[in-house]
Amino acid sequence: GEDVEQSLFLSVREGDSSVINCTYTDSSSTYLYWYKQEPGAGLQLLTYIFSNMDMKQDQRLTVLLNKKDKHLSLRIADTQTGDSAIYFCAESRGTDKLIFGTGTRLQVFP
């Protein structure tokens, strides 16, 4: 199937690290993306990783890709209240459509 799966909720304390996980099904995916959706707003690309990479770091964000297990994760270091949002992973397969996960709602509490 085409399912991209994520856990629905994650709650973390401000200053801690957040890890959001995603599993996908198509081993031929070329790019994998993380998008952020803040309340009442559209989706914004946070970061992406090409399928031949294992890890990508961008400031507080670290993306890990395990192709063997088809597992993607997003780690946010020093999580802030402004990071509260819904996070979507997505995969693309060449020029085909983007397949999105169900989204993980991250709640950061003081």
Please report how close the Cβ of residue 15 comes to another protein at its closest, in angstroms: 28
> Residue 45: which of 85, 105, 12, 5 has the closest Cα?
85
- Please, which residue, 46 or 64, has the CB nearer to another protein? 46
- Please, which residue, 14 or 51, has the CB nearer to another protein? 51
Distance CA 110, CA 65 (A): 30
Distance CA 62, CA 40 (A): 26
- Please, which residue, 12 or 99, has the CB nearer to another protein? 99
Say if residues 19 and 82 touch (Cβ distance below 8 Å).
no
Please report how close the Cβ of residue 66 comes to another protein at its closest, in angstroms: 21
Per CB under 8 A, residues contacting another protein are 30-31, 33, 35, 41-45, 48, 88, 90, 92-103
